[in-house]
């Protein structure tokens, strides 16, 4: 009991009791993942979204066995990816989380041909709403999100995304969108420590 | 109707040479209304099929037959060439009398390869095969690979190919059986597919079929798309009119004896299409400039029927200029340099063809064959029961060289020797990065009067 209470206090201190974008209380970032997401929020000085569910077999433990890319740029934008690579033909499960603190416009990426720039996220094909978040579904994405379906939304003047690769075992955009809907529903905000 | 992948694959495996997965066409699509009247007479050309038109996004489009099939075969046990000629012609005449020459009935096109001419009628062929004056070679050229083809593209050597087109799969199946039950044919492959639907709203047949088969990227195909890649390819103004693809019409070809007047050249290939790459890596704007040409910025998001009439054709200089400016070229823009008339032209029969008129007559259709519905040599052909998105590309040109000019232009190799230098299958070269050609072969389509074992009677 004492341990539980202490953990609760720590969680409160770190600000990881989650709130959806609409402000309604939600579940907390899972205890084993919370530390990493809190550190990320602190580093970028802005709220970040921690998932409470991930497509099988991934978890969202930053520093854990599935963490792939962990990158924070000078402008405080971040990319955190989780990847399970199936060497024996079982396929890949790859989920990326991005945040662009203070930025509300879609960034540009190097174009696929010639010396051009293209939107990093393009071909909007609809919307998903869950957890107080209304996200736009983008189907053609660049860089680490290439071949992914991506959800993009805004929160307090900042842009956030989550995406998943369309590949076996989640081998259709329809199946990936189902995962993204569930991910969206599972997101909890982690505030930076004051 | 919901089909599980298991149900779908089970159906495919159970009926390799029957209707198989393509019976879904009858379940998922309905035949467009067609006039039932028998045409007054059979045209001299085998490759012509009278197709109705409708409008899609304000553009007149030809309504393709729902079903198509190509059966290839070799000749075997052929001791009596004249007898075989009579037997096949008898069967074809029976088919002619059974079905109207419309999509509601059946269109049959019998095409013969260099292998046939060399093996069975070589002396006659030397004297009678038309000669391409422009290319200074026979109209029937050896099948070849093109710069964007993989090194393992199979160059086939079938003796004969029969194209069957109808809105009714049972017409195709019955005719196929009648023709290929003849004792001298050994079927080497059966290729089946579908096109169209969707012009009246709702999901098109290719979309429904691809989703039912569960091929990668199926759910990304726009609902009303005539073909898998999302754009309408049967615009009337973008297809060769009337007899323009006949050997004799444009004057490219010396008919020599005239035996093959009203004939044409047919190229047949199978091309795999990577739908996921197309829809997940190319946004709509890039799909437009890839399918058509760079600089097309006025196309409404989601548009499928992008006007491609004679006035939309850009000259070679514009193609080269755009390439130097953007580092890429579009599929249509590169091909149109050779596939459209560069000036107003009067055909041999006096028909006036305006500058920009298309020359090739296409009869391609989407498929879920991988790569064929049936192969006599499954290992060699890489046959798989797993459905795969692709196209059986069938096109009629006045000569084999004319086809090659178009196909080379698709790879950025222009007829005057200019090269738009892009690595093979690069994203900058039109559709090439999402297409993989598995098989190719050239054929000659004789006129209807000589469709059965051409030259055998001489």
Phi, psi of B273 (to 5 degrees): -120, 130
Which residue in chain A is spatially nearest to B289 when comparing CA positions?
A113
How many CA within 13 A on the CB side of residue A74?
0
| C-alpha to C-alpha distance for B237 and B355, rounded to whole angstroms | 12
Angle B334-B338-B344 from CA coordinates, rounded to 5°: 125
DSSP characters for A27-59? Answer: PPPPHHHHHHHHHHHHHHTS-EEEPS--STT--
Residues of B with Cβ-Cβ distance to A140 under 8 angstroms? 279-283, 286
Which are the contacts of A84, defined by CB distance < 8 A and separation ≥ 6? A57, A58, A66, A92, A93, A94
Question: Is residue B3 scored above 60 in pLDDT?
Answer: no
Tell me which of B210, B280, B302 to substitute to probe the interface with A (most A C-beta atoms closer than 10 Å): B280
Residues of A with Cβ-Cβ distance to B303 under 8 angstroms? none
Each residue's pLDDT tens digit, B235-269 = 888 889 999 999 999 999 999 999 999 999 999 99
Q: Does B219 touch chain A (CB under 8 A)?
A: yes
Each residue's pLDDT tens digit, A76-126 = 999 999 999 987 778 899 999 999 999 999 999 999 888 889 999 999 999
Question: Is residue A4 scored above 70 in pLDDT?
Answer: no
Task: Please state which of the ranges A150-159, B41-50, B381-390, B401-410 shows the lowest mean pLDDT.
Answer: B41-50
Residues of A with Cβ-Cβ distance to B222 under 8 angstroms? none
Token couple for B151 = 């090194």
Each residue's pLDDT tens digit, A160-188 = 999 999 999 999 999 999 999 999 999 99
CA distance A172 to chain B (A): 6
Residue whose token pair is 């690979």 = B145
ipTM score: 0.82
Angle B364-B368-B370 from CA coordinates, rounded to 5°: 105
Task: Answer yes or no: are the C-beta atoms of B287 and B271 closer than 8 Å.
Answer: no
Residues of B with Cβ-Cβ distance to A123 under 8 angstroms? 283-284
Angle B46-B49-B55 from CA coordinates, rounded to 5°: 155
Report the Cα B104 to chain-centroid distance in Å.
20
Task: Answer yes or no: are the C-beta atoms of B199 and B63 closer than 8 Å.
Answer: yes
Which are the contacts of B315, defined by CB distance < 8 A and separation ≥ 6? B337
């Amino acid at each position: 009991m004492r341990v539980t209470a202490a953990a609760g206090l720590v969680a409160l201190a770190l600000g990881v009791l989650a709130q959806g974008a609409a402000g309604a209380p939600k579940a907390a970032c899972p205890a084993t993942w919370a530390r990493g997401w809190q550190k990320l929020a602190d580093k970028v000085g802005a709220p970040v979204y921690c998932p409470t569910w991930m497509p099988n077999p991934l978890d969202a433990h930053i520093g854990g066995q599935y963490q792939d890319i962990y990158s924070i740029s000078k402008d405080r934008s971040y990319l955190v990816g989780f990847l399970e690579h199936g060497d024996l033909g079982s396929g890949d499960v790859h989920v990326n989380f991005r945040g662009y603190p203070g930025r509300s416009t879609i960034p540009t990426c190097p174009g696929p041909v010639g010396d051009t720039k293209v939107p990093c996220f393009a071909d909007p094909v609809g919307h998903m709403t869950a957890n107080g978040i209304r996200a736009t579904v983008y189907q053609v994405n660049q860089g680490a999100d290439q071949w992914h379906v991506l959800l993009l939304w805004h929160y307090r003047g900042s842009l956030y995304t989550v995406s998943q690769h369309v590949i076996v075992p989640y081998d259709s955009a329809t199946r990936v969108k189902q995962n993204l809907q569930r991910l969206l529903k599972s997101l909890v905000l982690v505030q930076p420590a004051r | 109707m919901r089909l599980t992948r298991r149900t779908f694959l089970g159906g495919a495996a159970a009926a390799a040479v029957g209707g198989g997965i393509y019976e879904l066409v009858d379940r998922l699509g309905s035949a467009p209304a067609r006039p039932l009247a028998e045409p007054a007479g059979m045209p001299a050309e085998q490759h012509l099929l009278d197709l109705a038109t409708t409008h899609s996004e304000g553009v007149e489009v030809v309504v393709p037959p729902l079903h198509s099939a190509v059966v290839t075969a070799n000749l075997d046990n052929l001791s009596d060439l004249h007898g075989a000629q009579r037997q096949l012609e008898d069967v074809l005449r029976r088919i002619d009398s059974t079905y109207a020459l419309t999509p509601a009935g059946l269109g049959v096109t019998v095409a013969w390869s260099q292998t046939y001419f060399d093996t069975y009628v070589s002396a006659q062929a030397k004297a009678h095969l038309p000669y391409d004056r422009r290319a200074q070679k026979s109209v029937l050229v050896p099948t070849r690979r093109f710069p964007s083809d993989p090194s393992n593209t199979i160059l086939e050597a079938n003796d004969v190919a029969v194209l069957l087109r109808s809105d009714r799969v049972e017409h195709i199946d019955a005719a196929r059986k009648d023709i290929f039950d003849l004792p001298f044919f050994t079927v080497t492959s059966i290729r089946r597919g579908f096109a169209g639907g969707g012009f009246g709203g709702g999901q098109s047949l290719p979309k429904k079929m691809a989703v039912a088969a569960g091929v990668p990227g199926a759910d990304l195909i726009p609902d009303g798309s005539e073909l898998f890649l999302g754009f309408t390819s049967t615009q009337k103004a973008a297809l060769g009119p009337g007899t323009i693809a006949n050997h004799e019409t444009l004057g490219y070809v010396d008919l020599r004896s005239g035996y093959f007047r009203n004939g044409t050249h047919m190229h047949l290939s199978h091309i795999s299409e990577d739908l996921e790459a197309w829809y997940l890596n190319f946004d709509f704007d890039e799909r437009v400039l890839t399918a058509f040409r760079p600089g097309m910025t006025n196309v409404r998001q989601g548009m499928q029927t992008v006007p491609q009439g004679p006035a939309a054709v850009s000259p070679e200089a514009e193609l080269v200029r755009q390439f130097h400016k953007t580092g890429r070229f579009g599929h249509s823009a590169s091909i149109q340099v050779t596939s459209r008339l560069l000036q107003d032209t009067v055909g041999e029969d006096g028909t006036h063809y305006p500058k920009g008129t298309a020359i090739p007559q296409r009869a391609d259709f989407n498929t879920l064959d991988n790569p064929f519905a049936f192969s006599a040599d499954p290992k060699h052909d890489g046959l798989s029961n797993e459905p795969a998105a692709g196209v059986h590309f069938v096109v009629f040109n006045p000569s084999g060289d004319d086809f090659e000019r178009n196909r080379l232009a698709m790879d950025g190799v222009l007829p005057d020797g200019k090269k738009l230098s892009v690595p093979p299958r690069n994203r900058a070269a039109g559709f090439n990065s999402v297409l993989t050609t598995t098989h190719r072969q050239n054929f000659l389509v004789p006129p209807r009067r000589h469709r059965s074992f051409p030259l055998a009677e001489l």
